[in-house]
Amino acid sequence: MTDLPVMAELRLWQLISPALPVGAYAYSAGLETAIESGWVNDADSLQHWVAGQLEAGLAGLDLPILRRLHRAWARDDHGAVAIWTARLLASRESAELRSEDVHIGRALARLLDSLGVEAAAVLDRGNAVSLATAFALAAHAWDIPVDAACRGYAWAWCENQVAAAVKLIPLGQSDGQWALANISEAIPAAVNAAAALPDEEIGATTPGLAMASSWHETQYTRLFRS
């Protein structure tokens, strides 16, 4: 692991900050239903739920596509950007997961446009967009290497899941940080696995997430957006 240039490191921190105004806090990605169903009820089960998705979901789908989107932006290959964005969105297993991805991606694209990332304006003109699409653009524009971008993307997703669990279970802040510390140990392996994955093997195997996110759309009471 090489050191990041100072400004690239600071921009990565900005990109993965919970204060980033893209609305990620409004979604639980199926976790609310997993808790309602009793699948997740403490720090230990939370760790297994999130780490399982990291290994079977992000490492096989989001992160390898994020790498390809980063490469496409570096080459100014908008055709490849569109292809990989479409493949990622087509792989979302429920309307809720797809809507979440598009909503947060568009919000990040608008923010990047306001911060002077010119190519981001294209993403908010009716084009298909995912969070990974805009995240990869930001990483390229701000000289963030792809491995660091993947680690940051994975960290931000894990942190958002833990933050949601703290509210929903409810879970104490210390227990939440314990779970996050343990989950984050799996991030380097997930990033390495994603880097080695060929195009034809990209995909997620997360049936529990698919069911939870589908059921969340009709869950009687919800704190998080559907």
The residues spanned by each domain of the chain are 7-12+29-216
The CA distances from residue 144 to 24, 91, 105, 138, 171, in Å, are 21, 26, 18, 8, 34
Q: Considering the domain 7-12+29-216 in this protein, what is its CATH number?
A: 1.10.4190.10
Residue 226 pLDDT more than 80? no
Tens digits of residue pLDDT in 128-178: 899 999 999 999 999 999 999 999 999 999 999 999 999 999 999 999 999
Confidence (pTM): 0.95
- 17 within 8 A of 11, measured Cβ to Cβ: no
Q: What is the DSSP letter of 4?
A: P
